[in-house]
Chains A and B, each alone.
Chain A
Amino acid sequence: MSSQVHVDEEIDCRGLSCPLPIIKTKKAIDGMQAGQVLKMLATDPGSINDMAAWVSKTGNEMVDREEGEGIYTYYIRKVG
């Protein structure tokens, strides 16, 4: 099952623990244009709540989220 979202960049945070997925996401988004979508892969179960908190705080948009076989996939659109 794969999301239909158009992805501009992708980062792999599998195997990394808190807070690295968040920090790497921030770094990646910083280097992107508004409207572009970042795909982020993680295995940290805490990333579900952490990513929700991160988009809520930073104002970016979680376009889609997938979960399966211990891997969490996030699609984040850069806003502003």
Chain B
Amino acid sequence: MGATEKDIDAIVEERVQAVLDRKLDALVDERVARALAEHEARQAPGQLDRIAIVASKGSLDMAYPPLILATTAAAMGMEAGIFFTFYGLDIINKKKNRSLGVPPVGNPAMPVPVPNIIGMLPGMTSAATMMMKNWMGRVKLQSVPEFLDMALDLDVKLIGCQMTMDVMGTRQSDLIDGVQIGGAATFLEFSSKAKTSLFV
């Protein structure tokens, strides 16, 4: 009699354990599914941890913000891309990107303020450019070509604007290696899934 009771106890315990396990599994599954759904709902649909930047200006001072932001984003684990369009295409033009200049005209933020009428004189752009290069050398800021190498090394996507190339007669061989060529649609497809998009 005692033996049977023990057997029954064991069977009951096993059954109860099986039911508990099943219920627990179901509960865990349900909670995980709910947490995942909540996490997904918090993110905007289709958005990636990505930054998309338009670089539209070809002066030395305007070349830096897109390059600094894109390389930093990549270093933070984000996906980053820059679309070089209009004068911004000069930034990835290897014949031009070592000699980008700083225009003193219409630039009230020069370290030494230059009246526009003086800024218009011949040689003033190279004077302003020299001033900025001095300042950049002091803080050991890298050159534009060095930044581009770093960007490619960090897998930043560099897209040259096809239309600008057509207008300015730029060939793919004029551009640095590693850039892709595309149009507005290429950039928009890329930026449509980006959390952050900037126009510089």
The yes or no verdict on A and B being binding partners is yes
- Is B154's CB under 8 angstroms from A23's CB? yes
Chain B residues within 8 Å of A20, by CB: 140, 142
Q: Which of B71, B75, B140, B150 touches A15 (beta carbons < 8 Å)? A: B140
- Please report the total number of A residues contacting B with Cβ < 8 Å: 15
Per DSSP, are chain B's interface residues mostly helix, strand or loop, or mixed? Answer: loop
Chain B 128-143, CB-CB to A under 8 Å as 1, else 0, gives 0000000000011110
Q: Considering the complex, which residues of chain B in the window 31-82 have a beta carbon less than 8 Å from any beta carbon of chain A?
A: 68, 71-72, 75-78
- Please report the total number of B residues contacting A with Cβ < 8 Å: 13
Q: Once bound together, how far apart are the Cα atoms of A57 and B140, in whole Å? A: 26
Chain A residues within 8 Å of B76, by CB: 22, 26, 53-54, 57-58
Chain A residues within 8 Å of B150, by CB: 23
Chain B residues within 8 Å of A32, by CB: none
Q: Which residues of B contact A (CB under 8 A)?
A: 68, 71-72, 75-78, 139-142, 150, 154
Task: Provide 15 A-B residue pairs closer than 8 Å at the C-beta atoms, listed in order of the A residue.
Answer: A16-B140, A17-B139, A18-B68, A19-B68, A20-B142, A22-B72, A23-B150, A25-B75, A26-B154, A27-B75, A54-B75, A54-B76, A57-B76, A57-B78, A58-B76
